[in-house]
């Protein structure tokens, strides 16, 4: 098995010391480095500790040696594409955040920046956490099996204000939604 600790750590912008300190209980950067390179055995206990510190599911830390996985081979810089010294695993942004259930909104009609065929991946949060979703696109359940979709612009008590995409749309107010799903990733075929 090949582990992805280094790839995930780098995509989250963490150093070895950051990850070591985030472990519970904390460990040393050298230990994390040995786990990343395979010089130390990645036990189930270590997988759980490292995954919790990275805020990902433990199974995301390992992959089969035989499974093909998309690789990041270059970055697009101001001067053009630059090759990486060593390719690394491409890990979906949705895999890097493990809190809340994922859901997908399929776009069938153009709305604002969204085009038909787009898929908007959203992650559920509790309504009391709505403050961290202000000015982000959200999907909010309404009564009768309906939804409100758009930019979260307000939360006052149990009321949530959503401004639909497009020009001239009126704010929709939802009272006491069961959850709020925050846009996390847009998938668009080219």
Distance CA 126, CA 114 (A): 25
Query: Whole-prediction pTM value?
Result: 0.61
Q: What is the mean pLDDT of the chain?
A: 88
Rg of the chain (C-alpha set): 20
Decide if 154 contacts 144 (C-beta within 8 A).
no
Domain co-membership, 55 together with 120: no
| The domain boundary residue, chosen from 59, 91, 123 | 91
| Cα 143–Cα 160–Cα 144 angle in degrees, nearest 5 | 5
| The domain boundary residue, chosen from 28, 61, 91 | 91
pLDDT band at 106 (very low <50, low <70, confident <90, very high): very high
pLDDT tens for 12-62 read: 889 999 999 999 999 999 999 999 998 998 999 999 999 999 988 888 888
| The domain boundary residue, chosen from 91, 122, 144 | 91
């Amino acid at each position: 098995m090949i582990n992805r600790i280094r790839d995930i750590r780098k995509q989250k912008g963490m150093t070895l010391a950051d990850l070591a300190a985030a472990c519970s209980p904390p460990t040393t950067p050298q230990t994390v480095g040995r786990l990343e390179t395979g010089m130390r055995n990645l036990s189930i206990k270590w997988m759980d500790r490292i995954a919790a510190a990275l805020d990902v599911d433990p199974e995301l830390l390992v992959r089969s040696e035989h499974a093909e996985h998309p690789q990041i081979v270059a970055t697009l810089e101001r001067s053009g594409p630059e090759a990486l010294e060593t390719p690394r695993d491409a890990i979906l942004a949705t895999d890097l955040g493990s809190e809340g259930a994922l859901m997908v909104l399929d776009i069938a009609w153009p709305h604002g920046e969204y085009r038909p065929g787009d898929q908007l991946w959203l992650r559920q949060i509790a309504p009391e956490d709505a403050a961290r979703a202000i000015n982000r696109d959200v999907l909010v359940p309404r009564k009768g099996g309906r939804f409100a979709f758009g930019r979260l612009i307000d939360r006052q008590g149990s009321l949530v204000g959503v401004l639909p995409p497009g020009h001239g749309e009126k704010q929709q107010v939802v009272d006491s939604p069961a959850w709020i799903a925050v846009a996390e990733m847009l998938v668009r075929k080219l």
